[in-house]
Structure 1
Amino acid sequence: MGSQEVSSTVDWQGKHVTVAGLGVSGIPAARALHERGALVTVVNDGDDERARAQAAELEALGITVRLGDGATLPPSTELVVTAPGWQPDKPLFLAAAEAGVPVWGDVELAWRLRGDNGREPAPWLAVTGTNGKTTTVRMLASILEAAGLRTAAVGNIGVSLLDAVLGETEYDVLAVELSSYQLHWAPSLRAHSAAVLNLAPDHLDWHGSMAAYAADKGRVYEGNKVACVYNVADPATEDLVREADVEEGCRAIGFTLGAPGPSQLGVVDGILVDRAFVANRQKQAQELAEVTDVNPPAPHNIANALAAAALARAFGVEPAAVRDGLRAFRPDAHRIEHVADIDEVRYVDDSKATNTHATEASLAAYDSIVWIAGGLAKGATFDELVTGAAKRLRGVVLIGADRALIREALTRHAPEVPVVDLDRTDTGAMSEAVARAAELARPGDTVLLAPACASMDMFTNYNKRGEAFADAVRARADESA
């Protein structure tokens, strides 16, 4: 399917569409389809008070809602539009496959509806990967804005793609974060340019295998027009580029923390440089920004900046806008967020590091660390993480339900590192964790919350966990003032 095909080829009038799931993607999808004359039925597994309130709003518009039964395919269904989190092996999708009914995700629907408001659809610069997606997309949007382009950071980042493509604002280009779930259900997506930042085991219960997970990530490269951006340090991302079917003339562009080769962006003497989008890439390099323009200048964040810069350059953005956009960017909370310095010890909140791959990058950013870790492991193992970080660890404070798994890895691979095991999972444990970490720390150290685990054993989400850490650190700072 060509990259310019839009929804004018779809006649929604009277088309029977089943929307799977109430929520941030399902409700806008149901509304958009209903407005276009489709006969919409929403099915939802849950039947709680919130779902009933959402259902009442949709039913008032004339949309049918079926609560407590997301498994059965409604009669006459011609298309299923699903929320990205619904697993492919759900009975609803098996029934759809058996009946020959296509299944789209919210991203596929947004892609098909581009231009439905009569305007020329904005190109998409797409980002996926196991870690760093949100930061990279927001960096990219900041660079595009610095170039004077009308843009927005959308997709898995929380801003609905449907709202972006159907809303009143006319964009020049969209910076789009895409999860593996979303890509799984987006068969006809064709981005202007795209990046896969990294690949590590994640969501394997959903995808079934690492190969299937990687294949879904690789879908982001299909049909790319200008650039497929990959991570030189992660050969699996380059393999996905090789396997992709792209438009004639589309280039493979690497990013590296080392000196770049031709068709790569990298770092030389503290400068981010471009040897991809220059007149003579064999002999020339273009300075883009300084490492100190990246906030924070941790290694994995510099990699994010290079990926964002590569996509922006693929879109024709000038070097000065890359620099200005990176300088203007401010990271989201709980992503390597500096909280305070107390008695010459730095306290850093990286509660967003909910898996081992993200935590590995976080630990690599500092030389001497008191590490606060633990929570829900989600099936992860920690031997490789601990082995790689052992020489950096001053001490470890463990919290959460699955902390024993990390403690066992520390015993095997870093037996000399002092470990405090807090046998509690109440929310107040964080204050004690910070206090015990402070006892272990020495001037020049970093106390780092990078849990390598999900938060739901103790907190509503990683944001609440990070806030608890920051509150405990600030209380300690007030005491020492």
Structure 2
Amino acid sequence: MTASLPEVLRIADLAGRRVALWGWGHEGRAAYHTLRARLPAQTLTLFCDPAEAAQAAALNDPRLAVETEASAARLAAFEVVVKSPGISPYRPEAAFAAAQGTRFLGGTALWFAEHADDGTLARTLCVTGTKGKSTTSALLAHLLRAAGLRTALAGNIGLPLLELLDAQAEAWAIELSSYQTGDVAASGARPQIAIVTNLHPEHLDWHGGQERYIADKLALVTQARPHIAVLNAADPRLATLTLPDSEIRWYGDARGWHLRGDALYRGDEHVMDTARLPLPGCHNRSNLCAVLTALEAFGLDAAALAPRAATFQPLPHRLQPLGERDGVLYVNDSISTTPMATLAALEVYADRPVAVLVGGHDRGLPWEEFAAAMRVRAPRAVVTMGQNGPRIHALLAPVAAQAGFTLGAASDLADAVAQARAALPAGGVVLLSPGAPSFGAYPNYVARGRHFAQLAGFDPDAITGIRGMGIA
């Protein structure tokens, strides 16, 4: 009789068990290579799509079985399924298998569990939030390195934690999506510091609704119980949060690091002007306040490190100026996947004529608040596109007639760029800030941003790549 699984699973606990992998993206491949390295004799089953199955078969691993249909019955045949973050545990087949006793977890849970007793967790600084988590994580790593610390930058930003399982660092800057925060709690580990930047509706299809999304996102602080939680006091949902097991450090108001216009303050003390920092928009400079609060909680002199933000290189696809063509600036904000992110992007260029491209995969997010904002301060033009383009267009049509901005409907991104350029005078800005995911038309926001760059006449290879990932 097989012994029951322990509450917290480590890699060694999977030996001899019925184990499956679900998904063959970056995280799935990292999980496979980790398990194969640690458990070379372990039999594994991989569930993936047909194209990925061919890639996995090329490994010629006799202990790896590959299947292309993850049915409820098949998933239920396994004791443990290590799934990729993009696969929702709320899917009916996953819920059925879980009810039969199958344990679902991700690579993030395995990484944290493996380091529960070696002192690594005392050096972890985790970051989540609806928007700004990638910039916050990268800026955090930049300033930790400026302080002389050997720092790892990993997680949802593009480098799975399991790829650094055996690496050593003095500080770990870890980005976590709402798909991964529950993994930290499932690992039984307590991060040292956890930052939550903000909360807005997103990924409702994966989570099954706004309430569950908020709960899953907050699991990093409500269930994983970090020693110190760094929270944005300007976010209405976070401002009312109480965490009995964590010390809360607030930013975004007079209690701590905050902005007064472009001026950066810590409490009542003026620290520096932020206008020339490579952090466009007040939302990005708010991320700096989060980072400085975390650095202080980590025991560093945050005020002394703040000026080093001037040498930070902004991340691609996040309000990324590509350059000018014929007097028009093209800005790539392809990572924008919520209407609130689009509004923040528009605010950055509020003093210039802007044509914004919106729409993509329809996750059912509401656009009413965006439409209301267009009544007050609209750009020169809005061009809708993608699966939810018609829905956004119908919502904006009466607003455009009243507010006087040009409203176009495009068949694809190329058509949207052409319409946006035609609507602008010299000195204008074509802004790709879709407020929606890219799925369907593109595999991810990176591919969408690269195509936008190409359409605008720029080299897509020159705009891609996040500096500093890994350990430095």
Same fold (TM over 0.5): yes
1:83–1:398 distance in 2 versus 1, CA, 3 Å: closer
Equivalent residue letter for 2:22: A
1:394-416 deviations in Å (ceiling 9; x for gaps): 22233344333222222233423
Aligned to 1:83: 84
Q: 1:24 aligns with which of 16, 23, 26?
A: 26
Aligned to 1:261: 254
Aligned to 1:446: 429
1:24–1:462 distance in 2 versus 1, CA, 3 Å: closer
1:294–1:453 distance in 2 versus 1, CA, 3 Å: same
Q: Equivalent residues in 2 for 1:230-309 (5 A)?
A: 230-239=231-240, 241-242=241-242, 244-246=243-245, 250-256=246-252, 260-262=253-255, 264-268=256-260, 270-275=262-267, 285=269, 287=271, 289-292=272-275, 294-309=277-292
* Count, aligned residues: 444
- 2:368 aligned with 1:383, yes or no? yes
Pick which of 224-233 and 211-220 moved more. Answer: 224-233
In the TM superposition, residue 120 of structure 1 has moved relative to its aligned partner by 5.0
Aligned to 2:347: 364
In the TM superposition, residue 156 of structure 1 has moved relative to its aligned partner by 0.8
1:52–1:235 distance in 2 versus 1, CA, 3 Å: same
Contact 1:397 1:436 in 2 (8 A): no
Aligned to 1:211: 211
Paired with 1:457 and 1:91, the residues of 2 have a C-alpha distance of 22
Tell me the secondary structure at the aligned position of residue 289 of structure 2. Answer: helix
Paired with 1:350 and 1:86, the residues of 2 have a C-alpha distance of 25
1:453–1:225 distance in 2 versus 1, CA, 3 Å: closer
Paired with 1:297 and 1:34, the residues of 2 have a C-alpha distance of 43
Instruction: State the Cα RMSD in Å.
Output: 3.1
1:41–1:467 distance in 2 versus 1, CA, 3 Å: closer
Pick which of 119-128 and 230-239 moved more. Answer: 119-128
Equivalent residue letter for 2:379: L
In the TM superposition, residue 338 of structure 1 has moved relative to its aligned partner by 1.6
Taking every aligned residue pair, what percent have the same amino acid on both sides?
Answer: 30
Contact 2:75 2:102 in 1 (8 A): no
Aligned to 1:318: 301
Paired with 2:372 and 2:75, the residues of 1 have a C-alpha distance of 52
Equivalent residue letter for 1:421: G
Tell me the secondary structure at the aligned position of residue 348 of structure 2. Answer: coil
Equivalent residue letter for 1:43: L
1:151–1:9 distance in 2 versus 1, CA, 3 Å: same
Tell me the secondary structure at the aligned position of residue 26 of structure 2. Answer: coil
Contact 1:226 1:314 in 2 (8 A): no
Instruction: Structure 1: state its 5+ residue gaps.
Output: 276-283, 476-481
In the TM superposition, residue 56 of structure 1 has moved relative to its aligned partner by 4.2
Aligned to 1:44: 47
In the TM superposition, residue 324 of structure 1 has moved relative to its aligned partner by 4.5
1:414-437 deviations in Å (ceiling 9; x for gaps): 423232424422x53244134313
TM, length-normalised to structure 1: 0.82
Equivalent residue letter for 2:366: T
1:127-161 deviations in Å (ceiling 9; x for gaps): 11111111111111111111111112211111010
Paired with 1:53 and 1:179, the residues of 2 have a C-alpha distance of 26
- 2:90 aligned with 1:104, yes or no? no
In the TM superposition, residue 329 of structure 1 has moved relative to its aligned partner by 1.4
Equivalent residue letter for 2:406: V
In the TM superposition, residue 300 of structure 1 has moved relative to its aligned partner by 1.0
Equivalent residue letter for 2:388: D
Contact 1:226 1:251 in 2 (8 A): yes
TM, length-normalised to structure 2: 0.83
In the TM superposition, residue 309 of structure 1 has moved relative to its aligned partner by 1.9
Paired with 1:293 and 1:375, the residues of 2 have a C-alpha distance of 33
Aligned to 1:176: 174
Higher relative contact order (CA 8 A, sep 6+): 2
In the TM superposition, residue 33 of structure 1 has moved relative to its aligned partner by 2.7
1:458-480 deviations in Å (ceiling 9; x for gaps): 444433333343344448xxxxx
